[in-house]
Amino acid sequence: MENRSNPINQTTTKLIAVHIDPAIFGDFSDTFLDPSIFKLVSEKEAQFCLLKKKSRLWAQFSDGKFCDYPYYLKNISRLIEGFKSESIQRHYPIEAFQSFIKGTEVIEKKIFSNASMSPGENVKDLWDEIIKKVNFISSESHSLKGLVEKILEIPFLQNFQSSMIVLHLKGQTKAELMGTMWRSEKVHTLIEIKDFNTFFNSIRKSKTKSFSTDDCGKVNLPFNGSFLAKEVISKKYSLITIVSRHDFLNYSHEEIELYETCIYLLQPHFERLIDQEFSDKKISELRICLKDFPLPLRIIDNQSGSVFINDLYRNELQDQDIFFNKKIKGSFSLDLYDSDELRHYAFDLFHFQRISLLGELLNTLRHELSNPLFGLKLSSQIFNTLDINPDDKSFMQEIERNVDRCQSIIENFSNLYQIQPETKPILLKKMIDESLVLAKSEIREVTKKITYDDECEKIILNVPLIFVVQILFNLIVNAAQAMRGQPERATLGISVSIHDSNVLIDVRDNGPGIPGDKSINLFKPFFTTKLQGTGLGLVLSRNLTIKMGGNLEYLPNKNEKGAQFRLTLPIT
Amino acid sequence: MKHLLIIEDEILIQQSLKKLFERRGFKVDVSASGKLAIQMILSYNFDRIICDLMLQDISGFDVIEESKKKYSSNEISQKFVIMTAYNSPQVLSRANSYQCRLLNKPFDNLEEAMRLMTE
């Protein structure tokens, strides 16, 4: 490669730093760079360009290959544009070049005049030292704080007293100031996001990057005097780096340039350490979540065989109790167990999901239907006040009544599916009637026999209406579906009676009934005899009953055909 | 008080209200579009403007905001009657900020609603 490093052209030189990815281009990198177009400068010269011109361009040669720092890349398309016209196409079609670009990164094309290409030995030496040190501290730092402290070891910063950063992770409400003062004292404070933004913008807009603590707005830096600052922006965070000598003298151009360049060089390391700390935090929070997860849980790494279990996991849990199994990233699999805890929590969740989904749907429906219904009502009211013949009048009144009915049905529905159920005294009869209205389409051709023992029609229960209606609706629909298509007349019986201080609501049908072997599984989740059942209806219902201090059971119907469920609720 | 403007995009509601008010001797103009309504408000002098919030093109609040070019906030609180079927807390608090009358749709009592709109 040495012999390729032509002397710098006397007029201008296009310096394009390219990272040749050997995985893609292998040994072709030499051929790829046509020396008649690209002047290859030596490493030191390139570094000096960077130093002198405050350029973001940074190229490093190693074994004849350029390496770049990926965060400097810009305008790839512009570069491709440049290549299109160059003779490079003779050797490689543009597609190949584009795929090459994808595999690597390219730095902005920049023109350097020859004049700036004569570095003095001192600067080059200092630069060497800085590079070495930056590489050293970044490889030595395993934490963000460590890196911030070590910045002060960079040669030209040796008489500086403090180094700190203000970090704002996107989405957080506060920014964090951390670092070191007087080279030993640790600093850590939180900054309001509003103040941080003002501070950040003033630094971003500044051309000199040299500030005084008086310029900081509402941000209180823990020292007085002038300081150098540089902002760094990434997708995930905004960062301000600060160094200060704790005096009131201005900084020289060289210091400002060197500092900026160092921060450029350190940027990927900031990125890496922030990422790492971020994910460490995430992992530890996740661990806590999993540990306290309210269900027995086991995660197995199928590759290494290692197992994570949480506090509720018990050894007596068997494989057949696994209720939920999911392959997760990599070789991990997660098991949740069917257990009391599961019943307790998970069905609340199922219930909640159902209700909130339906509630949302019904709310939309209500809003969409209310307006046209109201229009119908108003216009029929107007017709009613006109002097029209009595026949037409009763016709219009019928329209009005129907509109009212539609309105009340839709309102009842949406009141029913409130997420926070209201508990208030309600006539049991009203709840049964409501459930029958809801199930109307299912029980169209079914004979209904609803009987109340003495005084039972007057029973008032202090329970959430929605719970009882949901349970009864479920039982009624189950009964109706079981009887569907049978030759004899389908009959649904609901009888209400009192036993001790409980009210018993029996829901019977004359369908095929439930075979003895299946009845033991009735209240198990996901057990269903229906083709399209979820197997959740009865489980949810029983869960709701238990919440109300009652019970839901299946009563085998020995003498008659059909199934019978009994809902027991306490009378308060 | 003579001249009313009803801004409502549900034509049955709009026409019914128009008829009801006309029978009581008011002069009534209507608009289903908020943008058109703004033009009308700026060009004529209505004694009362009954405005639905959910219009097809813009919201009733936008109509009120545009009317500020012509009317003071005191006049707005007098002239405008807001009708809405969406009485969420956000809507209510915004409507209250104009201090004008607010009617929920559907009306519980037609007579009362008519009185509130015209008194």
Please check the confidence at residue A114 and state whether its pLDDT lies above 60. no
Is B15 an 8 Å CB contact of chain A? yes
For position A123, what pLDDT does the model report? 55
Indicate the average pLDDT of chain B: 90
Higher pLDDT, A14 or B36: B36
- Average pLDDT for residues A483-488, to the nearest whole number? 86
Of B10, B107, B110, the CB nearest to A372: B10
Q: What is the CATH number of domain A122-281?
A: 3.30.450.40
Please check the confidence at residue A414 and state whether its pLDDT lies above 80. no
Is B25 an 8 Å CB contact of chain A? no
- Residue A120: how many CB atoms within 10 A of its CB? 9
pLDDT band at A495 (very low <50, low <70, confident <90, very high): very high
- Average pLDDT for residues A444-467, to the nearest whole number? 87
Judged by CB atoms within 8 Å, which residues 55-94 of B form the interface with A? 85-86
Q: Considering only CB atoms, which chain B residues are within 8 Å of A382?
A: 16, 19-20
Nearest to B50 by CA among B97, B3, B91, B94: B3
Residue in B14, B19, B83, B112 to test binding to A, most A beta-carbons within 10 Å: B19
Give the orientation angle of helix A340-385 with respect to helix A537-547, to 10 degrees. Answer: 90
Q: What angle do CA A544, A548, A549 make, to 5 degrees?
A: 115
- Arch. (CATH architecture) of A341-416: Orthogonal Bundle (1.10)
pLDDT band at A420 (very low <50, low <70, confident <90, very high): low
Please check the confidence at residue A17 and state whether its pLDDT lies above 70. no
| Nearest-neighbour CA in chain A from B9: distance (Å) | 10
Q: For residue A366, how many C-alpha atoms fall within 13 Å in the half-sphere facing its CB?
A: 22
Indicate the average pLDDT of chain A: 73
What is each CA distance from A24 to A4, A17, A32, A102, in whole angstroms?
Answer: 22, 17, 12, 10
Q: What is the ipTM of this complex?
A: 0.83
Q: For residue A482, how many C-alpha atoms fall within 13 Å in the half-sphere facing its CB?
A: 23
- Average pLDDT for residues A1-26, to the nearest whole number? 38
Of A374, A376, A382, the CB nearest to B105: A374
Please check the confidence at residue A77 and state whether its pLDDT lies above 80. no
For position A362, what pLDDT does the model report? 77
Q: Considering only CB atoms, which chain A residues are within 8 Å of B105?
A: 370-371, 374
- Residue A40: how many CB atoms within 10 A of its CB? 21
| Nearest-neighbour CA in chain B from A450: distance (Å) | 34
Please check the confidence at residue A7 and state whether its pLDDT lies above 70. no
- Average pLDDT for residues A108-134, to the nearest whole number? 51
Residue of A nearest to B83 (CA): A371
Nearest to B106 by CA among A66, A486, A406: A406
Tokens for B89, please give them: 């807390």
pLDDT band at B81 (very low <50, low <70, confident <90, very high): very high
Interface touch B12/A379, C-beta < 8 Å: yes
Q: Considering only CB atoms, which chain B residues are within 8 Å of A360?
A: none
Tokens for A98, please give them: 């584009």
Percent of chain A with pLDDT over 90: 8
Percent of chain A with pLDDT over 70: 71
Residue of B nearest to A385 (CA): B20
Residue in A379, A400, A403, A407 to test binding to B, most B beta-carbons within 10 Å: A379
Amino acid present at A107 = I
Residue of B nearest to A381 (CA): B16
For position A261, what pLDDT does the model report? 79
pTM: 0.41
For position A527, what pLDDT does the model report? 67
For position A533, what pLDDT does the model report? 63
| pLDDT tens digits, A529-544 | 776 666 667 877 888 8
CA A199/CA A166 separation, integer angstroms: 10
Q: Could you tell me the CATH number of the domain that includes residue B10?
A: 3.40.50.2300
Interface touch B16/A367, C-beta < 8 Å: no
CA A249/CA A255 separation, integer angstroms: 12
Write out the residue range of the structural domain in which residue B35 sits: 3-118
Residue of B nearest to A363 (CA): B86
Number of domains chain B is built from:
1
Tokens for A422, please give them: 């209201």
| pLDDT tens digits, A213-236 | 777 777 888 888 888 888 888 888
Q: Where are the domains of chain A?
A: 2-119, 122-281, 294-334, 341-416, 423-570
Backbone angles phi, psi at A535, to 5 degrees: 75, 20
Q: What is the CATH number of domain A423-570?
A: 3.30.565.10
Higher pLDDT, A537 or B14: B14
Please check the confidence at residue A405 and state whether its pLDDT lies above 50. yes
Higher pLDDT, A13 or A547: A547
Interface touch B16/A372, C-beta < 8 Å: no
Higher pLDDT, A166 or B108: A166
Nearest to A245 by CA among A219, A225, A231, A261: A225
For position A475, what pLDDT does the model report? 92
Please check the confidence at residue A183 and state whether its pLDDT lies above 60. yes
For position A80, what pLDDT does the model report? 39
Backbone angles phi, psi at B52, to 5 degrees: -75, 150
| pLDDT tens digits, A298-314 | 888 888 877 888 877 77
Residue in A360, A363, A374 to test binding to B, most B beta-carbons within 10 Å: A374
Lowest mean pLDDT among A85-94, A520-529, B42-51: A85-94
Higher pLDDT, B87 or A389: A389
What is each CA distance from B26 to A45, A378, B8, B17, B43, in whole angstroms?
Answer: 89, 18, 17, 11, 19
Please check the confidence at residue A263 and state whether its pLDDT lies above 80. yes
Q: Are strands A551-555 and A491-499 parallel, antiparallel or unpaired?
A: unpaired
pLDDT band at A557 (very low <50, low <70, confident <90, very high): low
Q: Considering only CB atoms, which chain B residues are within 8 Å of A373?
A: 106
Please check the confidence at residue A463 and state whether its pLDDT lies above 90. no
User: A487 preceded by cis ω (within 30°)?
Assistant: no
Return the DSSP state at A234: -
Per-position DSSP letters for A409-425, written without gaps between them = HHHHHHHHT-SS--EEE
Is B18 an 8 Å CB contact of chain A? no
Residue of B nearest to A376 (CA): B12
For position A525, what pLDDT does the model report? 63
